[in-house]
Amino acid sequence: MKLADALQIRNVTIRNRIALPPMATGKAVDGAPGDDMIEYYRQRSENTGLVIVEHEYVSPEGMAHPTQLSIASDEVIPGYRKLAGTIHGQGAAALLQISHAGAAAINGGLVVLAPSAVRTRDDRPMPQEMTAEDIKRVTECYVQAALRAKEAGFDGIELHGAHGYLLNQFYSPLTNKRTDAYTGSTMAGRTRFHAEVLKAVRAAVGEDFVVAIRFGACDYEEGGSVMAEIPEAVRIFEAAGADLIDISGGVPHIAEKPGHKEPGWFSEEAKCAKASVDIPVLVTGGVNTGADAQAILDAGAADIIGVGRAFLKDAGWAGKALASV
């Protein structure tokens, strides 16, 4: 498997194994992509296989920060249509990462919802435990967000289930203290919401649309989620309709692996996932060079390599990396 090799994800062929992962830019204009953001993605789409656009909130009470993108209304579709066209114009495939911040949401005068009344960040209000009706409504918000992404011309969506956001809060025993069907005490309960959202989105968007999930695979805290649970969890996601597993960290807001600075610091978790499913696995973290990315592929840890900070520093990173290996 080489960095330059193409890869099929459901109905989409990505031209190589390089991905721009979702990273907040703070460039949203009234919740929609503006010209500065579109130019940012245009530059980083050149020679890149897959671009995953930074997270968009699916419902106003799920907003994580004031400059976040929104996919919560039809009014934003024209901006996304221009963004999708720009990314495709550079030859890259494009996904939108759709998200609900849950307990990590800003208040904004709205009730903050979460699996349980557990605060995940000191600067956020105490959340309210979601009722069955809340869960049903938010599931439909994910569905409508995915339909808007499809209408805007994207190749698919990625559910944000990492970094201490809502889906991750359901998965983590640190934040899920429920005792109902979504209980934090069993794997079936912890992944029930994920599976329901995946199935509902798949039923709505049809078979010609990629549905990925970013998975906060481990919490790295006592009492939290652990690596040994990854195989069972990712098999549930695959069975529910996921086409791609994107491995990252869990609660609270972990985009890095504690104590690790080596390229591909989530590679061990990604390799565990890859051995458990038949769909592609993406891993991000600490990759600086083409050789770093190729080494992770050679180790069989993942099928796609996400490159974050190096892409922030150098918009032309992908072309240089491909030429170096």
Determine the pLDDT at residue 122. 83
pLDDT tens-digit readout, 163-213 = 999 999 999 999 999 999 999 999 999 999 999 999 999 999 999 999 999
Domain membership of residue 27 (yes or no) is yes
Domain membership of residue 2 (yes or no) is no
In contact, 223 and 174? CB cutoff 8 Å: yes
Q: What is the CATH number of the domain that holds 284?
A: 3.20.20.70
Domain membership of residue 119 (yes or no) is yes
Render 100-146 in DSSP notation, one character per residue: --GGGS--TTS--EESSS--SSTTSPPPEEPPHHHHHHHHHHHHHHH
Distance CA 248, CA 215 (A): 6
Domain hosting residue 308, numbered range = 7-324
pLDDT tens-digit readout, 103-146 = 999 988 899 999 999 998 888 889 999 999 999 999 999 999 99
Domain membership of residue 74 (yes or no) is yes
Domain membership of residue 117 (yes or no) is yes
Domain membership of residue 211 (yes or no) is yes
Q: Does position 153 have pLDDT exceeding 60, yes or no?
A: yes
Domain membership of residue 16 (yes or no) is yes
Which one is catalytic: 40, 165, 182, 220? Answer: 165
Mean pLDDT of all residues in 21-45: 95
Determine the pLDDT at residue 258. 79
Domain membership of residue 246 (yes or no) is yes
Domain count for the chain, please give it. Answer: 1
165 among known catalytic residues: yes
**pLDDT band of 80, cuts 50, 70, 90:** very high
**pLDDT band of 50, cuts 50, 70, 90:** very high
Considering the chain, what is the average pLDDT of its residues?
96
